[in-house]
Amino acid sequence: MEIKDFSEIESEFLERVQKMVWCSVATVDSRQRPRSRILHPIWEGKTGWIGTHRTSYKGRHIDHNPYVSLAYIADVANPVFVDCVAEWVDDPAQKQLVWDLFKNTPEPVGYDPAPIFGDLETFGVLKLTPWRIDLVTFPFESMATGTKVWRASPK
């Protein structure tokens, strides 16, 4: 089922991703090979944030190709798939807001970034802007009844 307005799925989307917390994130390396890893995004509506090290493999992959695909599959009957554009956030004020968001959101969605990243200087922030979100519910008789698909309006 095609969803025109994100607000139609926002509460279900946030409920699912906050319940599952961790997701598989796929990037593409410089030789066009996919690579997946488990990451812990936090969502504000349809904007996602990932705290990470900028010099990681995923950082280099994103510098090469900013498109990422997320799969939340901890609940195999209700997976969530999110295709996004990822971009680095370098503004110190915005990095502080994301740091505080992670730190002040209750666990398991939130966590204290200090033990992992030390401080804001070493805290890399990726902003995720989805262009497609799929909410799947199994079992289903057809794609029309078991999948809700939202797509961002073309720019």
Homologous superfamily of domain range 2-151: Electron Transport, Fmn-binding Protein; Chain A (2.30.110.10)
Asked if residue 90 lies in contact with residue 155, where contact means CB atoms within 8 angstroms, the answer is no
Tokens of 129: 């802007």
**Coil, helix or strand at residue 81:** strand
Closest CA to 85 of 130, 117, 40: 130
Per-residue pLDDT tens digits for 98-141: 999 999 999 999 999 999 999 999 999 999 999 999 999 987 66
Per-residue pLDDT tens digits for 55-111: 888 889 999 999 999 999 999 999 999 999 999 999 999 999 999 999 999 999 999
- Where in the chain are the domains? 2-151
- The Cα–Cα gap between 118 and 123 comes to 7
